[in-house]
Structure 1
Amino acid sequence: MQDSQSLINQVAQEIAASQNNSTTAAGQADSARAQREHYSAPTDAHVDAINQVFALFRINYHNQYYSAFKDNELLNQARRLWLNSLAQFAPETILRGARKVIEESEYLPTLNRMIRACQGNPEAFGLVDAHQAYVEACRAPSPKAAHQWSHPAVYHAGCASDWYFLASNSEKVAFPIFERHYLKLCERVMNGTELPAPNVPALPETIETPLSKEENAKRMEALRKQLDL
């Protein structure tokens, strides 16, 4: 078992490594998100989530926990470290990741292991990677709601990004916007949210047959007589 200072040093090294090497199931989309959002300011909800995570670890890894964090100073350092590194994820995603590592491992997780748990496995939920979703959204014919989407998250990300914006801008401009919306939707799906199906326009109850030229002429003549033209 590593002593507490060694664990802190290892965690710090893993943060640097995680910024440069992301090989998760979400692929390049998750890497781009990590680089873009890694240093975003944590919210009060993130602080609460980290506190809950460490409480869960204390209960489940009792001896390992107290061996790693022998005093409050080391514990607070670790909390700050994890808070800043995991702020890229939604608070509920952090809690989901903690439950995942507790269920899968009998050892106190490192920060790198926790990051991978938070990233999850989108493929298990039927979600494609962000760029594949972007291409699907751009190529889908109108009406968009009637398209057979690989997952509703793709459609809703397109709606949130604005279909006209996606169609009228280059990938360099449009993809980052779409990716941000899509990855947030993916997190919601992996956290148990069931997205509504696209709102397909209803077909008319009756289908009118176009009038012939003769019938149009008769109706026009009747209208003229009625209006005394």
Structure 2
Amino acid sequence: MIPGQKISNSERKSFIAAIDGLFLKLELSYHYQFYKVFGTDDKLTEAKKLWAESLKKYPSDCISSAVEMVIQSNDYLPTLTEFLKACSKSMGSINIPTPQEAFIEAQKSSSPRDSYPWTHPIIYWAGKETGWELINSSKDTNAFQAFAKSYMRLAKEIKTGKNFEIVSKSNNEIIEPLDIELFESLRKKHGL
């Protein structure tokens, strides 16, 4: 989450549910270690706050997939640092920006967008799918949600092996010189 950026109630609820689910799954998977580290309600509450603050830049889907990845690969309760690395991996080894970072990049982009130097092509495709007018409208609070939904769907497609490329229209157009003789004949014909 970028400082100063507002999030919707549904997104906030989804994030809180992801943090609660994370701790529930860690508790069930690493029972004794979990209670040794987060044994009291105060410790658990403080840990949830710390982890939520550290994980706020990741979408709830990313957190959910990261906890599954950690449980399958770690014999011991993961540290916050290990979990942050798992979240980065769950965004994919494809090394894409977080949805918030991608949204800001899409807002800052300029036309022609197919020639803009994107960090990753899926930002362009998510923006195109969402609609540039919606992304750039400051009055629409649903713009980020719509963008993030498209972005995460495209990120999943990348994980399955789909390749996204941006074909610049301006590079493909062959500009032919104007026919000067045609212009001269038209001038004579119309008396110009």
TM-score with structure 1 setting the length: 0.47
Cα separation, partners in 2 of 1:208 and 1:177, compared to 1, 3 Å:
same
Tell me the equivalent position of 1:179: 148
- Residue 218 of structure 1 corresponds to 185
Q: CA–CA distance in 2 between the matches of 1:220 and 1:175?
A: 54
Given that 1:98 and 1:117 are in contact with CA atoms closer than 8 Å, whether structure 2 keeps it comes out as no
Return the index of the structure with the highest Cα Rg: 1
For the pair 1:168 / 2:137, whether they are aligned, the reply is yes
Structure-to-structure mapping, 1:107-146, within 5 angstroms: 107=76, 119-121=87-89, 122=91, 125-146=94-115
CA distance in 2, matches of 1:194, 1:97: 25
Flag the 1:186–1:204 CA change in 2: closer, same or farther, 3 A: closer
CA distance in structure 1 between the aligned counterparts of 2:184 and 2:146, rounded to whole angstroms: 53
1:102 aligns with 2:67: no
Q: Give the alignment partner of residue 125 of structure 2, picking from 137, 156, 172.
A: 156
Give 1:138 shift. 1.9
The aligned length equals 155
State the superposition RMSD in angstroms: 4.4
What do residues 161-204 of structure 1 show as CA deviations (whole Å, max 9, x unaligned)?
Answer: 11122233447442232233223433444x44333112322523
- Distance in 2 between the 1:28 and 1:2 partners? 25
The residue correspondences of 1:1-229 to structure 2 (distance < 5 A) are: 18=48, 21-24=51-54, 28-30=56-58, 33-34=59-60, 88=61, 94=65, 98-103=68-73, 105-107=74-76, 119-121=87-89, 122=91, 125-170=94-139, 172-189=141-158, 191-201=159-169, 202-205=171-174, 207-210=175-178, 216-222=183-189
- Find the residue that maps to 1:125 and give its secondary structure: coil
SS at match of 1:22: helix
Q: Is the 8 A contact 2:69 2:86 kept in 1?
A: no
State the 1:23 CA deviation: 4.5
Do the aligned residues in 2 keep the contact of 1:137 with 1:155 (CA within 8 Å)?
A: yes
**Alpha-carbon distance, 1:117 to partner:** 7.4
Q: Which amino acid aligns with 2:167?
A: N
Amino acid at match of 1:195: N
In 1: Cα distance, 2:168 partner to 2:98 partner: 24
User: Is the 1:149–1:155 contact (alpha carbons within 8 Å) kept by the matching residues of 2?
Assistant: yes
Matched residues in 2 for 1:179 and 1:154: separation?
10
Larger RCO: Structure 1 or Structure 2 (Cα < 8 Å, ≥ 6 residues apart)?
1
Residues 100 and 117 of structure 1 are in contact (CA less than 8 Å); yes or no, is this contact kept in structure 2? no
Q: 1: distance between equivalents of 2:127 and 2:102? A: 9
